[in-house]
Amino acid sequence: MNDADNTQVSASQPLEERVNNRSQRPSSDAFKAFMAGNWAPATQHVPEREAVAGHAAARRRAISGQFKGERLVIPAGPLKVRSNDCDYRFRPHSAFAHLTGLGVDHEPDAVLILEPVAEGTGDDGGNHRATLYFHPLAGRDTEQFYADSRSGEFWIGARPSLAEFKARLGLDTADIAELELAITKNVGAPEIGGISVRLVRKVDENIDALVDTARYNTAKDPDNLDLSVLDALDEKLTEALSELRLLKDEWEIEQMKIAVAATVAGFKEVVKAIPRALTHHRGERVVEGAFFARAREEGNELGYDTIAASGNNATVLHWTRNTGKVNAGELLLLDAGVEADSLYTADVTRTLPANGKYSEIQRKVYEAVLDAADAGFAAARPGTKFRDIHTAATTVLAERLAEWGLLPVSVAEAVSPEGQQHRRWMPHGTSHHLGLDVHDCAQAKRELYLDGVLTPGMVFTIEPGLYFKNEDIGIPEEYRGIGVRIEDDILMTADGPVNLSAALPRKADDVESWMAGIYLEVDGQTP
């Protein structure tokens, strides 16, 4: 074959097939025949029902009560390409995980459908029957077993079968080949005998397109179909699923405790790594890596990108580049959380003295932030409003800023809605809900979130801070380059708030003693 022939063959190969060229996969009939035989059959066993199954069923029952007579479609989402033919680790959409109980990296492309039935005749006496649609396990005598790098067992390992998932989750399962019909059958206006569909949108664009096409094809007047009206119906489902997570059940609370315990262990690993970080040109990356290793050892992943910010970088609220040095005499702000295998995440921040001892001015700022955190904790009581935590914490910060001569107005004027000058140095909120997402329940209505009443079962953060940038020429030089945040994960109970992350020291003296103890434990010396 001459060069011209080679060029022609290359040009005729479809682009989507060219990514497989690097693997040099054989395609001969002899190879396929040889690969099809002499494999032990897949192990068949019926696993025990998982502890989460009953809780997930109760969640589905709760959402069923809000959408009688409507088909609910909740996708897990597809794999996402990181680069070329390499994907990110899969994580299902949080609403899907919440309603199924599935964590870790199970089943890209899976979809949960709640099919409407006569009122009270569905699962657990609800109004729907739930079915999980996903790719069933391919037999080892199939080409997919060795040829499909995204789902073949040879490439990614075994996956649960339909029967296994059903046994584990107490949830009906079906082959994803049946999904299109399950979503589109009888779609139409209820007044003409059709079924209304609600979808969690922007999770899987293929499912979005399938639902939109079904709506268009069954509309009375397709040319004047207002998809924005239907999108608004979908948004109500997303809103309801977000609000369903405002109160955590017993199983979820246990998962939060697991995530927090792993996070505490990660912070200890960071302290062990600080001596090396002090000698490295990208010491923040040393810190980040130490925590990430613990997150992968004890959990599924990081709950969010770690903030390992030293010196002036600690005044950048979402500093995740982590490319800076860690210098003795500066503060290290570590905002990090381990995501458990169940996908529930912790979110904890401590601000540590890189050399093990706070300077006088660092301690002054640190203790002001701690006082603000304690005030927020004191304000968090069943029956009070979520926003009261923020008001209590920021009022303390305003008082300290006034005492230091940094506030240009009185405390009363600053904390008024018309003032807010103190927020120059604390521009973020003091609390957010926490759970499957680090900023959980974000689509909940304002009256149930910011204006919501603190209720037993809520899990949220308390995280005030003060950030004095090097570039802030309106403050004395001694404050510049100091950023402090203290963040804890709080469970609201009938008896009041419980600090789930209390195992990590918070008081300045305790932080110093804790760090010194770790250094002595490791090598008998301090940085």
The pLDDT score that the predictor gives to residue 255 is 98
pLDDT confidence bin for 507, thresholds 50/70/90: very high
Task: Please count the CA atoms within 13 angstroms of the CA of 247 that sit on its side-chain side.
Answer: 17
Alpha carbon separation from 246 to 242, 384, 432 (Å, rounded) = 7, 15, 11
Encode burial over 272-305: b for 16+ CB neighbours within 10 A, e otherwise: bbbbebbeeebbbbbbbbbbbebbeebbbbbbbb
The pLDDT score that the predictor gives to residue 22 is 67
Least reliable range by pLDDT among 1-5, 319-323, 446-450, 508-512: 1-5
User: Is residue 105 predicted with pLDDT exceeding 70?
Assistant: no
Q: Determine the average pLDDT of the residues in 511-519.
A: 96
Strands 70-75 vs 111-116: parallel, antiparallel or unpaired = antiparallel
The pLDDT score that the predictor gives to residue 157 is 83
The pLDDT score that the predictor gives to residue 138 is 74
pLDDT in tens, 259-303: 999 999 999 999 999 999 999 999 999 999 999 999 999 999 999
More confident residue, 165 or 400: 400
As a whole number, the mean pLDDT across the chain is 93
Q: Which residues pair with 487 in a beta bridge?
A: 349
Distance, CA of 123 to CA of 53 (rounded, Å): 13
User: Is residue 334 predicted with pLDDT exceeding 70?
Assistant: yes
pLDDT confidence bin for 526, thresholds 50/70/90: low
Distance, CA of 89 to CA of 71 (rounded, Å): 30
pLDDT confidence bin for 142, thresholds 50/70/90: confident
More confident residue, 377 or 85: 377
Encode burial over 394-425: b for 16+ CB neighbours within 10 A, e otherwise: bbbbbbbbbeeebbeeebeebbeeebebbebb
Q: Determine the average pLDDT of the residues in 110-115.
A: 98
Q: Which domains can be identified in the chain, with CATH numbers? A: 52-244 (3.40.350.10), 250-523 (3.90.230.10)
Backbone angles phi, psi at 107, to 5 degrees: 55, 70
pLDDT confidence bin for 527, thresholds 50/70/90: low
User: Is residue 5 predicted with pLDDT exceeding 60?
Assistant: no
**337 close to 302: Cβ distance less than 8 angstroms:** yes
pLDDT confidence bin for 224, thresholds 50/70/90: confident
Distance, CA of 392 to CA of 380 (rounded, Å): 9
Q: Determine the average pLDDT of the residues in 31-59.
A: 89
Q: Determine the average pLDDT of the residues in 136-152.
A: 80
The pLDDT score that the predictor gives to residue 525 is 62
CA angle 446, 244, 382 (to 5 degrees): 65
User: Is residue 2 predicted with pLDDT exceeding 60?
Assistant: no
The amino acid occupying position 342 is S
User: Is residue 192 predicted with pLDDT exceeding 90?
Assistant: no
The pLDDT score that the predictor gives to residue 107 is 82
User: Is residue 159 predicted with pLDDT exceeding 90?
Assistant: no
Residue identified by tokens 């268009």 is 216
The pLDDT score that the predictor gives to residue 10 is 57
Above pLDDT 70, what percent of the chain? 96
479 three-state secondary structure? helix
Q: Determine the average pLDDT of the residues in 469-473.
A: 97
